[in-house]
Homo-oligomer: A and B are copies of this chain.
Amino acid sequence: MTMSPEPSGTVPDTAIYDRRESAVRSYARSMPRQFGRAEGVWMHDDQGGRYLDFLSGCSTLNYGHNHPILKQALLDYISADGIAHGLDLHTGAKQGFLTAFEDLILTPRGLDYRAMFTGPTGTNAVEAAIKLARKITGRELVIAFTNGFHGMTLGALACTGNAAKRGGAGVPLSHVAHEPYDGYYGPDVDTADLLEQRLADPSSGLDAPAAILVETVQGEGGLNAASPEWLRRIADIAKSHGALLIVDDIQAGCGRTGGFFSFEAMGFIPDIVTLAKSLSGMGLPFALTLLRPELDQWSPGEHNGTFRGNNHAFVTATAALRHFWSTEEFHRDIERRSQLLESRLLRIAAEHGFEARGRGMMRGINLGSGELAATVTAACFDAGLIIETSGAHDEVIKVLAPLVIDDAVLGIGLDILETKIREAAENNYAVAAE
């Protein structure tokens, strides 16, 4: 196996982008290639370069690019003039998805949810979740957490912690309080205790919340993984204070941290769950808000949208559920790869005094410096590895390889990462020593 990106001096003609695409584009800046074809863990640029994808569309491509089974299902559906767009009408594609989701996901896990097909973006699923929580409780405040990331539309953006994203709102972001996530104040402070104290205190200034909105692992926030104990505490606190617990499983769900849901086997059941990213399995826009049936108090059309219920995505999602989640095999594969990944990252981190973070196949290394991390990811890209950063200062390199990656290929990617971290770290020491 070889990876052969073009020499870094050769860039495609990007005049059309400069002329016609908004300056808001971001990834295209650090990966200045034009891509065309992709399959499995590989992306190909237009100049013959091949890249190993350790970004996976920020966990949108857990089953890799254009998985052949999903791809074939979609080709068959389109060829047969299957309905592409049907608003929220009943379609065979939707029936297929709901049936598979019930049979393969809900029933085996003893979960009882209803599916709300929101506009096909994660932010829309979050908006629907917090709307519903506010409607049901008659309260306005949503408690979110430091470093949380939940989307860019106004309601979800208010729940997002990142200052640069928040600043884009142009209006003050209201009706949300950010409380410290697990471990935020270090290992000696139990932040669930702090939250409990404030909610129990009628003079704390923290209003009674409609919902507590939490990620079990914060992807954009720096791969902070909350402990199951802390999450159970948060679930208990929500319940005892009359708030709904919303787990935003958009990045951590669909197998990324092991199970289909990131909170499986943790001893609590959220009231509402949001899913998106890898749900379609092939990277198609698709989002879902799951509700406990007794919370399904929506009026018809109360939250609607043109693209709710993407039938192409129903088809690929159904194929993905049937292929990957009918047996325990995929889950076991993820577990094995997670351990491989964890041990490699721990070793790399230990070598340089860095910190390994995360859970399952959602892990990374905190380099302590956004500048250093950017150096590493740029070097990786030059070496044919697509990998990105997250965290408040973009200081955490995150490994979001497709879950279906071959163990050996995973190892090759990690070799590149290890080498580039070592080079950057040594160069850093050398500079510091001068």
Contact A205:B160 (CB < 8 A) given known A28-B90, A80-B37, A310-B285 = yes
Q: Say how far A136's CB is from chain B's closest CB, in angstroms.
A: 9
Query: Which chain A residues numbered 58 to 109 have a C-beta less than 8 Å away from chain B?
Result: 58, 60-61, 65-66, 71, 74-75, 78-92, 94-95, 98-99, 101-102, 106
CA distance A194 to B122 in the complex (A): 31
Interface check A271, CB cutoff 8 A: no
Provide the residues of chain B in CB contact with A208, threshold 8 Å.
Answer: 163
In the bound complex, what is the Cα–Cα distance between A120 and B24 (angstroms)?
15
A302 touches B95 (CB 8 A): no
For chain A, give the interface size range: 35 or more
Kindly state whether residue A9 has any CB partner on chain B within 8 Å.
no
A115 contact set on B, CB distance < 8 A: 20-22
Residues in B with CB closer than 8 Å to A141 are: 172
Stretch at the interface among A149-157, A261-269, A331-339, A346-354: A149-157
Mark contacts of A132-156 with chain B using CB atoms, 8 A cut-off: 1 yes-contact digit, 0 otherwise: 1111000011001111100111111
Chain B's closest residue to A70 (CB) is B84
Interchain CB contact under 8 A, A119 and B121: yes
Q: In the assembly, how many copies of this chain are there?
A: 4
- Bound CA–CA A56/B34 (angstroms): 34
Question: Could you name 25 residue pairs across A and B whose Cβ atoms are closer than 8 Å?
Answer: A20-B114, A21-B117, A25-B117, A25-B300, A26-B300, A33-B90, A35-B92, A36-B92, A65-B81, A66-B81, A85-B283, A119-B285, A128-B152, A134-B171, A135-B170, A146-B201, A147-B201, A151-B305, A154-B155, A154-B158, A162-B202, A162-B203, A172-B175, A173-B207, A185-B194
Residues on B with beta carbons closer than 8 Å to the beta carbon of A312? 284, 312
Please measure, in the bound complex, the distance between the C-alpha atom of A301 and the C-alpha atom of B163, giving whole angstroms.
12
A307 interface neighbour in B120, B153, B175, Cβ under 8 Å: B120
Q: Quick one: closest B residue to A169, CB to CB? A: B131
Q: Of B29, B39, B124, B163, which is within 8 A of A123 by CB?
A: B124
Which of B26, B132, B153, B168 meets A156, CB within 8 Å? Answer: B153
Is A161 part of the binding interface, using a Cβ–Cβ cutoff of 8 Å?
Answer: yes
Which partner residue on chain B sits nearest A301 by CB separation?
Answer: B26
Contacts A37-B82, A154-B155, A305-B151 known; A170 to B204 CB distance under 8 Å?
Answer: no
Residue numbers in B under 8 Å from A84 (CB-CB): 38, 65-66, 282-284
In the bound complex, CA of A60 to CA of B89 (Å) = 14
**Distance of A158 Cα from B300 Cα, bound (Å):** 19
- Would you call A78 and B71 a contact (CB within 8 A)? yes
**CB within 8 A of A119: which of B66, B86, B124?**
B124
A27-B88, A116-B22, A178-B206 known; A39+B81 contact, CB < 8 A: yes
A35 engages B83 (CB within 8 Å): yes
Residue numbers in B under 8 Å from A16 (CB-CB)? 95, 98-99, 102
Residue A296 at the chain B interface, CB threshold 8 Å: yes
Is A164 an interface residue, CB under 8 A from the partner?
yes
Q: What are the residues of chain B within 8 A of A291 when measuring CB–CB?
A: 22
Residues of B within 8 A of A197 (CB): 184-185
> Which residues of A185-231 have CB atoms within 8 Å of chain B's CB atoms?
185, 189, 194, 197-198, 201-208, 210, 221-222
Contact yes or no, B90 A14, CB < 8 A: yes
- Chain B residue at minimal CB-CB distance from A250: B306
Interface flag for A57 (CB, 8 Å): yes
Identify the interface centre among A46, A180, A300: most chain B CB within 10 Å of its CB: A300
Contact between A24 and B302, CB atoms less than 8 A apart: yes
Q: How far is the CB of A297 from chain B (nearest CB, A)?
A: 7
Give Cα distance in the complex from A367 to B207, angstroms: 25
Least CB distance, A180 to chain B, in whole angstroms: 8
Q: How far is the CA of A56 from the CA of B57 in the complex (A)?
A: 31
Query: CB within 8 A of A172: which of B121, B154, B174?
Result: B174
**Which residues of B lie under 8 Å from residue A204 when comparing CB positions?**
146-147, 161, 178, 392
